[in-house]
Chain A
Amino acid sequence: MSGVLETPIGDDVAAHLSRREAVLGRVRRVLIDKLKAPMAPEEIDLDAPLFGTGIGLDSIDAVELVVAMEAEFGLRLSESEVGPWAFRTVHAVVELVADRIALEPSPEGAGT
């Protein structure tokens, strides 16, 4: 495979990636600690489906996931934000949380 070796990353890109990676790390911990996903953190891929297959959550877990994400990130997610598409993959959750944190006036809950 043609590997892409280390390339320098600009400050804006680095900051964006760092934020996303930090959110991903915390989402993985929630999935393992609160939702009992039977995987190591590094085995939880961003594009893994959450429900039915993939991580294997069920409809009861859906409520628990919302509650756990709100607690973990200090957010209040509205009904429209947690629509059927919002939690389809790990990536979708990371995006939702990362975007919300970026909009929050206070850094509380946005720590790494």
Chain B
Amino acid sequence: MSDLDEALESASPGQRALRTSAAYARTSRAVPLWLRGADAREAALKVLTSRLLLRDGQAQQALLLDETARPLADVTVCADDEDYLLVVDGLSPADLHAHLNQHLEGMDVTIEGASESHEVISVHGPFGWELLVEVLGSDLMALPYLNFFRLDEGYALRGGKTGEFGYELVVHRELADGIEQALADKGAAFDAQKLDADALSLAQFEAWFFDPQFVPEGATPLELQLQWRLSRRPFVGKTAIDGRRELHTTQPGLAQKLVCVLLSDAARPGEAVSSEGEKVGSLFRAERSEVTGLWLGSAMVSARYAHAGLDLTIAGVRARTIAPPLLDNRSLHVDPRRHGYATRDEITFGPLTRHALRHASASTAASEGGAR
């Protein structure tokens, strides 16, 4: 058994379940909210960054920015008939309402908070879909990525952030206890575990999915490599985005990117990142991935260094830039039409860590800095 396989075996039950079977969470981070009224679409287009080419039942990932283009929240926006259901991560209900009220003044739109009437329960894992089918019905097996179904219980949205099958259930608050109990009861057959917010945050980091809790000072979607979430139309923060683009064009040496790094050991956020003895950026976040045993980091570096395969040093700790995500998620190898948790041994899963990264990990551990 390799060190990486041993890491999976010794990971906490929640992390192991999320990566190998099923897990669920009932956190307060996600805030549901509707935009309703004649100007609902115009309102969504003003405050959200994405193109919003949605039919009823479809969803899309977007951002809420402030006027300086700093990301405030990660938003999954759902076209709910003529209205928009937003599942917002990153702002409290009060701050979210304040932000929307500030920017939507004068529009014929109702901002209908749902955090008192609804709660968000999430389900994750390579067999999370199967657990969900057991609890809420077989129709959910056919739910495509970034689509949602309406249920008696509320909404089931497929849109995970961990690299695994992932669902967010926006359910009536009075039904939430029963649904959680059903997930626990039915989940026993799947070795399912309940996750806390920290466990989900780590899994999100391993998947290199944007987490609004971790935005470097001064970073915009350009530095975060989230330009795919930006429309070309005006929206809150667009002027600042355009200004930053112009700055990067005229002074490319100032441009920075957030990159993923593998570390040979723990390192402190804020430490200088160096290439061949020259500072090229700073470490922003470092976490030990429980399921691989590897130290994973994010660093803001000069944009020209934002490529995989560079050997770096961070306060004496060796590091290498990598192409995220860290994992070859088992969900990529599970087909709900053919597979099931009970017969999982019939599925050929490779190592949880991608081949190229196992190589990078070995190199990072073995060398004193690289040829590159």
- What residues on B are CB-neighbors of A70 within 8 Å? none
B309 adjacent to chain A (CB < 8 Å): yes
- Which of A12-20, A61-69, A104-112 contacts the other chain? A12-20
Q: Tell me how far the C-beta of B49 lies from the nearest C-beta in chain A, rounded to whole angstroms.
A: 13
Q: Could you name 9 residue pairs across A and B whose Cβ atoms are closer than 8 Å?
A: A4-B280, A16-B307, A16-B372, A17-B304, A39-B228, A47-B260, A83-B328, A85-B354, A95-B356
Partner of A48, one of B145, B225, B278: B225
B302 adjacent to A91 (CB under 8 Å): no
Partner of A16, one of B146, B223, B310: B310
A4 adjacent to B310 (CB under 8 Å): no
- The residues of B with any CB-CB pair to A shorter than 8 Å are 60-61, 145-146, 208, 216-219, 223, 225-228, 230, 253-254, 256-257, 260, 275-276, 278-282, 301-302, 304-310, 323-325, 328-329, 332-333, 350, 354, 356, 371-372
A7 adjacent to B280 (CB under 8 Å): yes
A53 adjacent to B146 (CB under 8 Å): yes
B278 adjacent to A91 (CB under 8 Å): no
A60 adjacent to chain B (CB < 8 Å): no
In the assembled complex, the Cα of A49 lies from the Cα of B253 at a distance in Å of 26
- What residues on B are CB-neighbors of A5 within 8 Å? 253-254
The size of the chain A interface, using a CB distance under 8 A, is 41
- What residues on B are CB-neighbors of A53 within 8 Å? 60-61, 145-146, 228
- What residues on B are CB-neighbors of A12 within 8 Å? 371-372
In the assembled complex, the Cα of A12 lies from the Cα of B276 at a distance in Å of 10
- What residues on B are CB-neighbors of A4 within 8 Å? 253-254, 256, 279-281, 301-302
B323 adjacent to A89 (CB under 8 Å): yes
- What residues on B are CB-neighbors of A24 within 8 Å? 307
Within A81-97, the residues touching B (CB, 8 Å) are: 83-85, 88-89, 91-92, 94-95
A52 adjacent to B145 (CB under 8 Å): yes
